[in-house]
Structure 1
């Protein structure tokens, strides 16, 4: 009988959570994966899809001699329409008899149900890794939007207040009310808070400046909360004037800048310019890693052969596992991924178009 609580909180995969999940073993562990939709009539199809996958999980549990009561905490989700109105691109449900997690994925996944003594984690790697991923803030004096990118796609991030227009964040006030903004904060890719105080006089330039400082301060708080504990870089797309004011007002660490007014660009143009900025300004140690791989292979301390990598994973020899693209349906690679994380190895994911090989590894010995 399941003792997992019925907490239907949906959240993204946290940094280092993959390692925690890799260390979980149980008899059984149930992994349910499915694509989802953010809104519209397709969400009703998601409910039907989920119900069918739960049924499939129940059959797999029965076939392997387990009690299907482990699924009890999630059965009611098939009638919880509110849960399905707040999804991302994909959903992972991970169950043991003592725990259940609902992980929002930032990319679509294939339908899959796995009943084993550990979780099927490979499809979660793309959401759980900051390698190649970054946040993008498009900012003008009129509007602020936050996006997340995995290096291949870009999608909008919705926070408590973003996306927002200037007038959504800065409400009209009495012209004689205090104006000058002083912000006290402690941020820098951490969840920061600010205390804004307004004092001054009249309208005109002082009021405009105070309102803009308040606007940027509120945007900064939203961004800081969204990127907290992700380890992902922040790219700001704005004119030189706006980005300069944002940086000085918020104190947030900006890793790359794209100069220009994002309101004039298409989504494709935005993504292209951001990718170029990330490549040129943030840089990457990817080339050095693959050079290191080549040297390791030459000295019999690395491999591109899956059979050899699988054997090394079982023996705890993998120092660095390198996965290219999204090979999400390999049981062998999932096992290697889990063993590498469990034994203190590092896992890096690279864009699929970077290399021909799908998997490679550098060994400890």
Structure 2
């Protein structure tokens, strides 16, 4: 079932969504990307910037000989001020003659309007993690908080609903009410709806278990959306019981664990325990080290020539693609083509800062054959 819809409700990218977007092809495909303010009076700037970018999209459509009415459904967003009060760090709007998809990004996006036969996915590519940043989920049966850890300090991450308490997320119920029906709960502003289905009798242990499952599922949804496509590992801080239930209830991948109840520790003790857990982790061999791109090129099993990479990607030969994060480069359009073709063929795509690229390259690929 397609995850691309015509509703003007932003969603977070999930696993597989980027490939689905890459498989979108139409005449025309319109991509509008923008940074957004998530709180405070600055949110009033969101619709202003959007209107400017929408106008730019219409001009590009007209210049290319396309019907500008394709983006008319987006016009209503410019006056929906509640919509702009509930944004994340960035927003991407993708429009084709048949589909419209709005994507909330968990990082700031550059202002960009692109009209072509594919979507502009370059800014949404997964960030290569250099190992110096981790997400930390502090989880108890009573509270859930997500942090970024840079090795020294913990910075609280605010999602649509996190940080939150158990009672913030679980709908109070009459213990006599049967749980045979589906329970719906909306949270976190525009479009943030979660559904939990339970099959118990609303009493005793069954009710406690169902409520805990709902709580952990909602926490898991928030965490998964925030960390997806960042390339940043997740450290779970929880007791053995809570951690076991969390991993059994959700599909969130946990990279390291700190056993214990974070509610009993000071901030300093939490930082020290997280730091120790990270240092105890063996290096993850599931992703190729940056140096392996240079090694593959030296062994004629890869390339840093953009034209060669674009052709190889179209033929399904690119296993892993690494691009610089500088979208202002004159070759950015070809980079986007390489990204789209690599994703379509099941390859892996990463981006990293220009100063971290091996051999000062702007794009590198490892070939399958």
Q: TM-score, normalised by structure 2?
A: 0.72
Q: CA deviation at 1:320?
A: 1.7
Residue 219 of structure 2 corresponds to 223
Residue 19 of structure 2 is aligned to residue 47 of structure 1: no
Equivalents in 1 of 2:209, 2:82: separation in Å? 36
The more displaced of 245-254 and 41-50 is 245-254
Q: In structure 1, list runs of 5 or more residues that go unmatched.
A: 179-190, 201-209
Aligned ranges 1:217-296 → 2 under 5 Å: 217-226=213-222, 234-238=234-238, 243-250=239-246, 251-252=248-249, 254-258=254-258, 261=262, 264-265=266-267, 274=274, 277-278=277-278, 280-281=280-281, 283-285=283-285, 288-290=288-290, 292-296=292-296
Q: CA deviation at 1:50?
A: 0.4
Aligned ranges 1:1-365 → 2 under 5 Å: 7-126=7-126, 136-140=136-140, 143-146=143-146, 155-159=157-161, 162-165=162-165, 168=168, 199=204, 217-226=213-222, 234-238=234-238, 243-250=239-246, 251-252=248-249, 254-258=254-258, 261=262, 264-265=266-267, 274=274, 277-278=277-278, 280-281=280-281, 283-285=283-285, 288-290=288-290, 292-323=292-323, 326-329=325-328, 330-349=332-351, 355-356=357-358, 357-365=361-369
Q: In structure 2, list runs of 5 or more residues that go unmatched.
A: 177-194
Q: Which has the larger radius of gyration?
A: 1
Residues 54-85 of structure 1, C-alpha deviations (whole Å, 9 max, x = no match): 11111111111112101111011101112111
Q: CA deviation at 1:148?
A: 7.4
> Could you say if the C-alpha distance between residues 235 and 116 of structure 1 is closer, same or farther in structure 2, counting changes exceeding 3 Å?
same
Q: CA deviation at 1:156?
A: 2.6
CA contact (8 A) 1:144 1:219 kept: no
Equivalents in 1 of 2:280, 2:353: separation in Å? 17
CA contact (8 A) 1:235 1:274 kept: yes
Q: CA deviation at 1:223?
A: 2.6
> Could you say if the C-alpha distance between residues 171 and 323 of structure 1 is closer, same or farther in structure 2, counting changes exceeding 3 Å?
closer
CA contact (8 A) 1:256 1:282 kept: no
Equivalents in 2 of 1:271, 1:17: separation in Å? 34
1:18 match: secondary structure: helix
Equivalents in 2 of 1:214, 1:349: separation in Å? 40
Q: TM-score, normalised by structure 1?
A: 0.72
Q: CA deviation at 1:364?
A: 2.9
CA contact (8 A) 1:8 1:83 kept: no
2:242 match: secondary structure: helix
Q: CA deviation at 1:313?
A: 3.2
Q: May I ask how many residue pairs the two structures share in their alignment?
A: 329
Q: CA deviation at 1:87?
A: 0.6
Residue 188 of structure 1 corresponds to none
> Could you say if the C-alpha distance between residues 28 and 154 of structure 1 is closer, same or farther in structure 2, counting changes exceeding 3 Å?
farther
The more displaced of 330-339 and 220-229 is 220-229
CA contact (8 A) 1:135 1:149 kept: yes
Q: CA deviation at 1:308?
A: 3.8
Residues 206-249 of structure 1, C-alpha deviations (whole Å, 9 max, x = no match): xxxx99988855542323344569698652224xxxx1231345
Q: CA deviation at 1:270?
A: 6.8
CA contact (8 A) 1:136 1:236 kept: yes
Equivalents in 1 of 2:109, 2:258: separation in Å? 31
What is the root-mean-square deviation of aligned Cα atoms in Å? Answer: 4.3
Q: CA deviation at 1:112?
A: 0.9
CA contact (8 A) 2:169 2:218 kept: no
CA contact (8 A) 1:320 1:345 kept: yes
CA contact (8 A) 2:240 2:259 kept: no
